[in-house]
Amino acid sequence: MNNFTIGITDCDHPSVEIERHVIDGASGQMVLHQCKTEADVIRECWDADGLLNQYAPLTRNVLSQLPRCKVIVRYGVGVNNVDIQAATDYGIQICNVPDYGVDEVSDHALALLYTLARKTLLLGNAVRRGEWEFSISRPILRLRGQTVGVVGLGRIGRAFAEKAHGAGFKVIGCDHREDLPDPQPFVERVSFAALLERSDFVSIHCPLTEATKYLFAESQLRAMKPSAYLINTARGSIVHEGALDRALTEGWIAGAALDVMELEPPAPDNPLVKHESCILTPHVAWYSEQAFDELKRKAAEEAIRVLSGQEPRYPVNQL
């Protein structure tokens, strides 16, 4: 397809020159929008042959009113703002970019684990207050031989598992998806219940779906060790924040580290913001300069691939 139009529904990146360069090179036209609502997408993108999408809602109502759209590529891995079944019904290919930030997210999760375990943020803040005393961090336990539970054994979960194993942790894992490759030999595959019971650290790497929304709620958090830590670099709604607040307040678990939250940024009165035992980072696990460029280039290339009649490299739905 020549002279096609690819719209960007919304984008908070400082520049879209990478996408523009790729699309111009394929004789296409790129149009940047900043859609927030369904009505915005319908009004601005109705004539696009393809879309790149960040956060704007792509519901059945929206997709039904995009008559020319053949492909939608999500910036990133998650596709929870897209009605996949509706897209399939309307013949729209949905794609994502599942492999652009594997090292970055797994590195960030491991960094959060070490920050929790070695209590570096707690101690660093104390030094800034003029307190030179290690005892406020007690107890700190030797990490080698402790058990890390990995929830979700896709690309990122497997990369995290490999790094944790290399650092001397015992690694166990679980995943409800049956089509994934077998875990690495050093990962013991266990049930979700056994993972909660046995893990000293639990790191979440599964997608947000109907099955995983609030996967970590009161009963799951109560099933963890009182000395255990929870790490989430996946999607905020996998963890029930009210239950996590209670878990930290009442000591069901020792602490948590979240790079993602249900509402981003969190409301100022969100109690998790005030917990010293809860580390928060601003949805940055995906980021490095290299990953940022790779994401933008691959998203544009995937849209062009589909519009050119080629098979998608990263299909989410089957047409």
**Of 283, 294, 301, 313, which is the active-site residue?**
283
Residue reference for tokens 């104390």: 126
What does the alpha-carbon distance between residue 313 and residue 245 come to, in Å, rounded to a whole number?
A: 41
Q: Is the dihedral of CA 65, 69, 70, 76 positive or negative?
A: negative
Active site residue 301: no
CA distance 166 to 257: 21
* Catalytic one of 17, 131, 250, 264: 264
* Catalytic residue from among 235, 240, 241, 302: 235
Active site residue 108: no
Q: Indicate if 60 belongs to the active site.
A: no
Q: Are 49 and 4 in contact (CB under 8 A)?
A: yes
The total of other beta-carbon atoms located within 10 Å of residue 181's CB is: 8
Enzyme catalytic residues: 235, 264, 283
